[in-house]
């Protein structure tokens, strides 16, 4: 049975989508079967992998995008099974795309019985088909993130090495404790990941030290360094391993995959 992991932090711009995509791709590179699920209405993971509507005709790279017929929205609404909306990205990497329709999920799903467990029930039907399932969460702690926390075995919390890095993380950990007590007794924090790190900056080094002191053994040894290629890859609709496999970004996510699979497993 596969391991299910959510990448979550209610603070935006900390590297959630970049980590979900490229950690998943790194694990898939090792021959593991991986499923990526996008439950963010902004659909950044979906767009990152070359899927979804190309809304801007002046797209810098003019990437042709496959428009999914069905998305995770249809699964949560009960009109499709999760396996019906899976898009095969490669031999070992599958994707469940998102939709802007998810922006109304809190209202539309709010009256459903068991609304917090919709994603968990959907994943249970495909869990045996994958080694790892990674969920990219929205930058909020609403119903969609609650569904992800209720459905997973562990969470990875990306944290940027900047002054406000720890802001809100305590609230997230409190929420995880509440979910553990009500919906998911086996839920654990799989690791805190320092992202967008520039070791040349004294403040970044100081914040990284503070994060390690605060979270201790929860912090991954691997640090995701600032890397232009990681920012450029989504414009091509590619993972870092497709776009620039010799970059520091590819090196860092390869190391992270090793930690996730074999050190913090």
176: domain range? Answer: 3-263
C-alpha dihedral over 81, 158, 176, 21, to 10 degrees? 10
Phi, psi for 240 (deg, rounded to 5): -65, -25
Residue 229 tokens, joined:
């290629």
Angle at 165 between CA 189 and CA 214, to 5 degrees: 55
Query: Considering the entire predicted model, what is its pTM?
Result: 0.93
| Cα(39)–Cα(177) distance, integer angstroms | 21
Q: Indicate the number of domains in the chain.
A: 1
Evaluate whether 221 touches 211 at the Cβ level (below 8 Å). Answer: no
| Cα(82)–Cα(123) distance, integer angstroms | 7
User: What CATH number is attached to the domain comprising 43?
Assistant: 3.40.50.300
Evaluate whether 18 touches 169 at the Cβ level (below 8 Å). Answer: no
Per-residue pLDDT of the chain (265 residues; tens, 9 = 90+): 689 999 999 888 889 999 999 999 999 999 999 999 999 999 999 999 999 765 544 454 556 677 888 999 999 999 999 999 999 999 999 999 998 889 888 788 877 778 999 999 999 999 999 999 999 999 888 899 999 999 999 999 999 887 777 777 888 888 899 999 999 999 999 999 999 888 778 888 888 888 899 889 999 999 999 999 999 999 999 999 999 999 999 999 999 999 999 887 6
Evaluate whether 227 touches 200 at the Cβ level (below 8 Å). Answer: no
| Cα(166)–Cα(255) distance, integer angstroms | 24
Give the pairing of strands 188-197 and 132-136: unpaired
Evaluate whether 10 touches 141 at the Cβ level (below 8 Å). Answer: yes
Give the pLDDT score at 61: 52
């Amino acid at each position: 049975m596969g391991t299910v992991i959510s990448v979550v932090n209610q603070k935006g711009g900390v590297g959630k989508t970049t980590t979900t995509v490229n950690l998943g791709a790194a694990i898939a590179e090792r021959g593991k079967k991986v499923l990526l699920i996008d439950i963010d209405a902004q659909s950044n993971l979906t767009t990152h992998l070359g899927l979804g509507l190309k809304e801007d005709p002046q797209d810098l790279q003019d990437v042709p995008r496959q428009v999914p017929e069905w998305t995770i929205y249809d699964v949560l609404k009960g009109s499709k099974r999760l396996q019906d909306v899976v898009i095969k990205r490669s031999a070992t990497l599958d994707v469940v795309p998102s939709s802007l329709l998810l922006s109304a999920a809190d209202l539309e799903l709010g009256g459903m019985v068991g609304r917090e467990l919709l994603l968990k029930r959907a994943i249970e039907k495909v869990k045996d088909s994958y080694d790892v399932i990674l969920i990219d969460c929205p930058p909020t702690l609403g119903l969609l993130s609650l569904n992800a926390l209720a459905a997973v075995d562990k969470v990875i919390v990306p944290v940027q090495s900047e002054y406000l890095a720890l802001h809100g993380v305590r609230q997230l950990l409190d929420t995880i404790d509440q979910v553990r007590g009500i919906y998911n007794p086996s839920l654990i924090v799989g690791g805190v990941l320092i992202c967008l790190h520039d070791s040349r900056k004294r403040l970044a080094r100081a914040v990284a030290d503070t994060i390690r002191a605060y979270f201790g053994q929860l912090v991954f040894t691997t640090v995701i360094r600032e890397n232009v290629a990681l920012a450029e890859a989504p414009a091509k609709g590619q993972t870092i391993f497709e776009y620039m496999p010799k970059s520091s970004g590819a090196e860092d996510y390869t190391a992270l995959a090793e930690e996730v699979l074999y050190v913090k497993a």
